Amino acid sequence: MEKISPCPSAPPDGAFVLRAMVVTRNSFSNMRRTPFWTFSFPVISSAVCEASLSSGDMIELADVAVLVEATRRGSLSAAGRRLGLSPVAASRRLAALEAELGVRLVHRTTRSLSLTPEGEAFLPHAEAMLDHAEEGRSAAVPGSLGVSGVIRIAASVPFGRKVVTPMLAGFLRAHPRLRAELRLSDEIVDIAARGIDVALRIGELRDNGLIARRLGGNPRHLYAAPAYLAEYGTPALLEDLHHHQCLTTPGTTHWVFDRSGRSVRQAVSGRFVADSVEALLQASLEGLGIVRLSEWNVRGDVEAGRLKSIALADAALPDPGVWAVMPSRHHLPAKLRLFLDALTEHLVTP
């Protein structure tokens, strides 16, 4: 393996040999964008020399791991158990990290641990450092067997529960060194600020500066319970929806349809409104009206006869697709490529 040459002014102990992954106190804000191992050894050596760094200017990965685990598990003692450290050793490593950065990262009490504002700002970069180190280790093992680390995924509650979780069960069995952290919310989250590797979204993408990849189609239809249709009839044309109870989210006044290759808007209204897709689904099952939902979300209810699909003669709902949204185009880790490929395949073979 090529070594990093010491600077002319380097101390005799040759403290410039970098181990797995290090970062200076002045450069950690850039670490999410550029993995350490994508730089050549001469570039690293030159940067170290120009910055006049010594081994004392480097952050230890083991110290970073203590911060990340303590944040996830809520205490230093739990982090120590996860990492094979005593509570005292874990506390010393966290103190060393704070001393190196020159800021307090956590508030400690005898029973709890919480991040300071500085700790909240540093945490996504700390997680990225550990992820990049795992990527480096994985690169040394041929094929997908060497892929390890954590994949942090954000998705809506119904999509995460009905699509992503079943897919992850087989995916994690196939890749035993990988771990998945699934964060479900029907709100749009700031994936860069929260250290999310990929957000799975359906429909219009509004994030500026993020990278999006279409994973597959997301067919949608109108559905209603048999009891509702028996009482109010089945709409045949687009304009018929004006006379029906339509289940919508707050602020929605129109649904968009495709008609002969053109996008048209149809006014809709109803007596039930909810900001939860799962609540809208349940309301439709209860016979409260017509709902607009994805096929994957109602497949079981349609097969069981609890809901019926409504096909309009003159219009259809557009397919918004399923999208993977990522914070950066600079580097797509192997673990993320494997996940996206597996999810893409899962979407076409439900």
pLDDT, one tens digit per residue, over 296-315 is 999 999 999 999 999 999 99
- Structure letter (DSSP) for residue 244: S
Could you please report the per-residue DSSP string of 272-320? -B-S-HHHHHHHHHTTS-EEEEEHHHHHHHHHTTS-EEE--SS-B----
Could you please report the per-residue DSSP string of 203-240? S----TT-EEEEEE---EEEEE-HHHHHHH----SGGG
pLDDT tens digits for range 30-60: 433 344 433 444 544 554 455 444 445 567 8
Greatest mean pLDDT among 107-111, 144-148, 209-213, 280-284 lies in 280-284
Helix (H, G, I), strand (E, B) or coil at 38: helix
Helix (H, G, I), strand (E, B) or coil at 163: helix
Tell me the C-alpha to C-alpha distance, in Å, between residue 8 and each of 45, 46, 56, 133, 291: 11, 11, 18, 29, 71
What is the reported pTM? 0.64
Tell me the C-alpha to C-alpha distance, in Å, between residue 61 and each of 92, 138, 149, 180, 224: 14, 16, 14, 21, 55
pLDDT range class, residue 139, cuts 50, 70, 90: low
At residue 156, the pLDDT reads: 93
